[in-house]
């Protein structure tokens, strides 16, 4: 066996949409991006969505939207991917690491409360592995301290908390469609909000600062008088980035969005099989709690095991790929200057192992992984 850790699940629906893009021969930022943004709004139930080329870009621009003065503080979890905290530095702000809940790996609410000071302007909760941060509690705390909330939904496209889609609880929600995630556009991301005034300006920021994109300019020039020569006209009033989504990505995204609920259901079924398989192995416990009522989207299945490195080698020798999500950020050289403790994160990560849990994983492959987990202890 040779079992991949992650694998995008793509097929003929994506190819059909791509054919339409090729036939139109408009591959860049165009009508497919607008259609994907509209359908994303309908799917998660928000007023405005803006397609970008990654969640890193989405988070960067989301923070930019608030124009916080340089040096202010932004609270981020100690266990997450680098982008959650890098974007704080991109905006000349200071990351403040929040320790994690030992059972769920997401931001610990008590530690969050204790780290808030008058210089804190925002918080970026991460629904790590898809496990939802208690957003009702977090929003109440944020309100009380006038903090802006940017949800990092890189791991939970399609998920919800207390019946409300993740990404619609905070002031802005950011999603990743990178190839390994719950759904993919190859690389890609989405910025969402119910406050069009807040994020509409980000359309220019994602398009090198230009106020009208080329497709819209070309469309609005159609039917104009022949002697009018202003279709080329645009203005740059902000220092923007080349962060746009393009029609190739959006074509894949539109097909993936139709399958998202089914893909999330398959991931839940895979997780159910793993939970069943490990329940009689005392030295292994689940990475997080995988049983939140009414929540649909977990990105990966992981375990905790004290003999982490030996187990990883054992699985590797048997053709099973694994990962570790994540080495705590304050331990990385870039973030060491912001290390403020976070003992729980620094302790529990040592046991983390991510197991293959992608949508196309077959039942006999799951059984094989479980057999090998059991075999390690024999």
Ligand X SMILES: Cc1ncc(COP(=O)(O)O)c(C=O)c1O
State the catalytic residues. 181
126 binds ligand X (CB under 6 A): yes
Instruction: Find the helix or strand (DSSP H, E) in which 97 lies.
Output: strand 94-98
Q: How far is the CB of 178 from ligand X (least distance, A)?
A: 4
Cβ 326 vs Cβ 332: under 8 Å: no
86 binds ligand X (CB under 6 A): no
Residue 159: which residues within 8 A CB-CB, separation 6 or more? 127, 130, 132, 153, 165, 166, 182, 264, 295, 296, 297, 298
178 binds ligand X (CB under 6 A): yes
Which of these segments, 151-159, 266-274, 332-340, 356-364, binds ligand X (CB under 6 A)?
151-159
- Tell me which of 36, 40, 68, 81 binds ligand X, using CB under 6 A: 81
The end-to-end CA distance of the chain, in Å, is 20
80 binds ligand X (CB under 6 A): yes
In the numeric block, the tokens 């994020």 are attached to 199
Q: How far is the CB of 128 from ligand X (least distance, A)?
A: 7
Q: How far is the CB of 126 from ligand X (least distance, A)?
A: 5
Neighbouring C-beta atoms of residue 89, cutoff 10 Å? 16
> Of the two residues 190 and 278, which places its CB atom closer to ligand X in the complex?
190
Instruction: Give the Cα separation of 184 and 181 in Å (integer).
Output: 6
Q: How far is the CB of 189 from ligand X (least distance, A)?
A: 5
> Of the two residues 81 and 274, which places its CB atom closer to ligand X in the complex?
81
> Of the two residues 51 and 376, which places its CB atom closer to ligand X in the complex?
51
Site for ligand X in 181-220 (CB under 6 A): 189
104 binds ligand X (CB under 6 A): no
- Tell me which of 86, 91, 105, 176 binds ligand X, using CB under 6 A: 176
HEC secondary structure over 330-356: HHCHHHHHHCCCCHHHHHHHHHEEEEC
243 binds ligand X (CB under 6 A): no
- Tell me which of 49, 54, 185, 322 binds ligand X, using CB under 6 A: 54
> Of the two residues 105 and 168, which places its CB atom closer to ligand X in the complex?
105
- Tell me which of 154, 249, 303, 312 binds ligand X, using CB under 6 A: 154
Q: How far is the CB of 156 from ligand X (least distance, A)?
A: 10
296 binds ligand X (CB under 6 A): no
Which of these segments, 14-22, 92-100, 152-160, 272-280, binds ligand X (CB under 6 A)?
152-160
Q: How far is the CB of 197 from ligand X (least distance, A)?
A: 25
172 binds ligand X (CB under 6 A): no
Q: At what angle do helices 31-44 and 247-278 cross, to 10 degrees?
A: 40
Instruction: Give the Cα separation of 238 and 235 in Å (integer).
Output: 9
Q: How far is the CB of 242 from ligand X (least distance, A)?
A: 14
Assigned token pair, 370 = 């479980």
Instruction: Give the Cα separation of 142 and 12 in Å (integer).
Output: 44
> Of the two residues 121 and 245, which places its CB atom closer to ligand X in the complex?
245
Assigned token pair, 277 = 């398989």
Buried residues in 59-76 as b, exposed as e (16+ CB within 10 A): bbbbbbbbebeeebbbbb
In the numeric block, the tokens 């629906």 are attached to 13
Closest residue by Cα to residue 239 from 208, 197, 214, 212: 208
Give contact residues for ligand X (rule: CB under 6 A). Answer: 54-56, 80-81, 83-84, 126, 152, 154-155, 176, 178, 189
């Amino acid at each position: 066996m040779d079992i991949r850790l992650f694998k995008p699940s793509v097929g003929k629906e994506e190819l059909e949409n791509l054919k339409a893009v090729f036939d139109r021969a408009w591959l860049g930022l165009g009508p497919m991006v607008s259609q994907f943004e509209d359908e994303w709004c309908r799917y998660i139930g928000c007023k405005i969505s803006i397609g970008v080329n990654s969640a890193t870009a989405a988070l960067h621009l989301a923070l930019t939207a608030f124009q916080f003065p340089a040096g202010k503080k932004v609270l981020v979890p100690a266990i997450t991917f680098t982008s959650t905290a890098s974007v704080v530095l991109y905006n000349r702000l200071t990351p403040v690491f929040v320790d994690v809940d030992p059972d769920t790996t997401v931001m610990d609410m008590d530690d969050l409360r204790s780290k808030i000071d008058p210089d804190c302007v925002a918080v970026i909760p991460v629904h790590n592995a898809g496990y939802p941060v208690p957003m009702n509690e977090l929003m109440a705390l944020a309100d009380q301290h006038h903090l802006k909330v940017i949800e990092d939904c890189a791991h939970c496209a399609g998920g919800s908390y207390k019946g409300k889609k993740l990404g619609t609880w905070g002031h802005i929600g950011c999603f990743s469609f990178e190839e390994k995630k719950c759904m993919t556009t190859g690389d890609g991301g989405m910025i969402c909000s119910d406050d069009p005034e807040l994020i509409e300006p980000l359309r220019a920021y994602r398009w090198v600062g230009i106020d009208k994109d080329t497709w819209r300019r070309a469309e609005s020039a159609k039917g104009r008088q022949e002697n009018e020569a202003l279709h080329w006209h645009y203005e740059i009033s902000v220092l923007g980035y080349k962060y746009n989504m393009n029609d190739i990505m959006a074509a894949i995204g539109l097909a993936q969005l139709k399958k998202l609920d089914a893909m999330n259901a398959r991931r839940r079924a895979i997780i159910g099989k793993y939970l069943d398989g490990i329940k009689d192995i005392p030295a292994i416990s689940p990475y997080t709690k995988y049983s939140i009522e009414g929540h649909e989207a977990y990105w990966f299945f992981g375990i905790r095991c004290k003999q982490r490195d030996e187990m990883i080698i054992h699985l590797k020798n048997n053709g099973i790929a694994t990962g570790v999500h994540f080495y705590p950020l304050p331990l990385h050289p870039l973030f060491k200057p912001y290390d403020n403790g976070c003992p729980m994160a620094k302790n529990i990560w040592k046991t983390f192992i991510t197991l293959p849990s992608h949508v196309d994983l077959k039942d006999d492959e799951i059984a094989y992984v479980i057999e090998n987990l059991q075999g390690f202890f024999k």
